Amino acid sequence: MSLQYIIDGYNLIHHPLFSSTYKKTDNPAQALLLCIRTHHLTGSVKNEFVVVFDGYPPYAYQQDHSRRVIFSGDESADEYIKRVIEKAGNARTLVVVSDDKEIVFCAKAYRAQSCSGDEFFSALQDAARTRQESLRCQENERKIGYSQMQKINKEMREKWLK
């Protein structure tokens, strides 16, 4: 059974984990889509996702051809998301991603799943943690101890200074 993720776009763009990883970009909506796809934040490839933003697209916005981004127009993104939850035939296949309490309450009322920004970005945190550990290991590999350094110096003296 595949899941349908409904993502509160501005809520996640302003989330500390996203904004620290994707510092000021020209198009945060596209950066969020790229982040979701790159880090497989929706789990299985079979799971679909839609990112909902308030208002209308910016003037220079390049339309996402996969229809993964929706601008709610005159309606707020929160109201749009709640309406989608209410109209869903089987809300149990929905996963609503938001930190907004009203949206989370609506999702629970209709038995849809919900997850916070922290839970959603956990894969992003794991990737950052893995990168840091990898860098730390590389630094440790490059360092040699005092006794090793003395041994290398002795070998070099014997070969080159005689």
Domain boundaries, the chain: 4-120
The one-digit pLDDT tens for each residue of the chain (162 residues) are 688 889 998 888 888 877 777 666 667 778 888 888 877 778 777 888 889 998 887 765 556 555 688 888 889 999 999 999 998 878 888 899 999 999 999 999 999 988 888 888 876 666 556 656 666 666 666 667 778 888 888 888 888 876
Q: What is the pLDDT of residues 101-131, one digit of tens each?
A: 999 999 999 999 888 888 888 766 665 566 5
User: Is 85 within 8 Å of 107 (Cβ atoms)?
Assistant: yes
Return d(Cα 28, Cα 36) in angstroms, integer.
12
What does pTM read for this prediction? 0.70
CB environment 68-107: b (16+ within 10 A), e (fewer): bbbbbeeeebbebbbebbeebeebeebbbbbbbeebbebb
- Identity (one letter) of the amino acid at 67? R
Return d(Cα 35, Cα 49) in angstroms, integer.
13
Return d(Cα 61, Cα 70) in angstroms, integer.
12
| Two tokens, residue 23 | 């510092």
H-state helical runs in the chain: 9-13, 16-21, 28-38, 77-87, 101-109, 117-120, 122-142, 146-160
One of 3.40.50, 3.40.1350, 3.90.350, 3.30.1360 is the CATH number of 4-120, namely 3.40.50
